[in-house]
Chain A
Amino acid sequence: MIDRSDDIIIKTIARIFVPFIQLYALYVIMHGHYSPGGGFQGGVILGASLALLLITHGYDEIKRRIPEGVIILLGSVGVLIYAGIGLTCLLLGGNYLDYGQLSVILHVDPAHARSLGILGVELGVGFTVMAIMYSIFFDIATGGILPEDQKREEKVKREG
């Protein structure tokens, strides 16, 4: 499932499509207040774009562009953003995720602070969902066995 595809049509289409898919995902995240969508949905679309890249361009190239550490880091950073904004509100004297309190730091009126705060939380959710969606897809596609592990095992079997 994660082998490199030899078909030039599907590779070219994917290469052209992926930036637009990611732009649309950012639109879904940013425009979540006014239209259907939000952090989770936008994150799923971002994860789908990464899955499309993985299907078409193969594991080796994608590992070079998006290392596994970056995916894990992004998933954790998203949770950090979410919890950090929540705890900042708590430290400023409000409830957890009470974005109105952020107006002291951001120097805007509470209504704007609420809008900005929820945008930050949505960004955090989007990052985490993207990373976890990609990771789940990757684990299902490989069965949890990485290609380099397989090669190493074969090497050990051949030598021993």
Chain B
Amino acid sequence: MSEFFVAVGLGLCLLVFLVLYRVIFGPGVFNRIAAISAIGTKTLIILLVLGYVYGRVDMFIDISMVYALLNFIGCVAAAKYLETER
């Protein structure tokens, strides 16, 4: 079972690089914000999968919740920045 989770984590890591392309070259700011948000969600899932690999999901759930929280606040801050810069 552990190999399965490692494979899933590696696949998600590769997907992060695909989304990173959108962050760097993506046309417009909205694409970039959406891509950063997607990377945050992927990181959250990678953290949980890592928790399964190490067999300590209860610890990693705490970390991933904080990550989701900061991702949300960062997204709101970026949106607010765009609103005021207009």
Contact = CB atoms under 8 A, between A and B. Distances in A.
A55 interface: yes
A37 interface: yes
Given A35-B58, A36-B62, A37-B62, A55 B80 contact: yes
Contacts, number: 38
Interface in A49-98: 51-52, 55-56
Given A35-B58, A36-B59, A41 B80 contact: no
Contact of B84 (A1, A14, A41, A48): A1
B80 A48 contact: no
Given A36-B59, A52-B76, A55-B76, A1 B81 contact: yes
B62 A28 contact: yes
A3 B65 contact: no
SS class, residues of chain A in contact with chain B? helix
A79 to B, nearest CB: 24
Contacts of A21: 69
Interface size classification for chain B: 10 to 19
Contacts of A56: 76
Interface of A: 1, 3, 5, 10, 14, 17, 21, 24, 28, 35-37, 41, 45, 48, 51-52, 55-56
Interface of B: 58-59, 62-63, 65-66, 69-70, 72-73, 76-77, 80-81, 83-84
Q: Which 3 A-B pairs have the closest CB atoms?
A: A52-B73, A55-B80, A35-B62
25 contacts: A1-B77, A1-B84, A3-B84, A5-B83, A14-B76, A21-B69, A24-B66, A28-B66, A35-B58, A35-B59, A35-B62, A36-B59, A36-B62, A36-B63, A37-B62, A41-B66, A45-B66, A48-B70, A51-B73, A51-B77, A52-B73, A52-B76, A55-B73, A55-B76, A55-B77
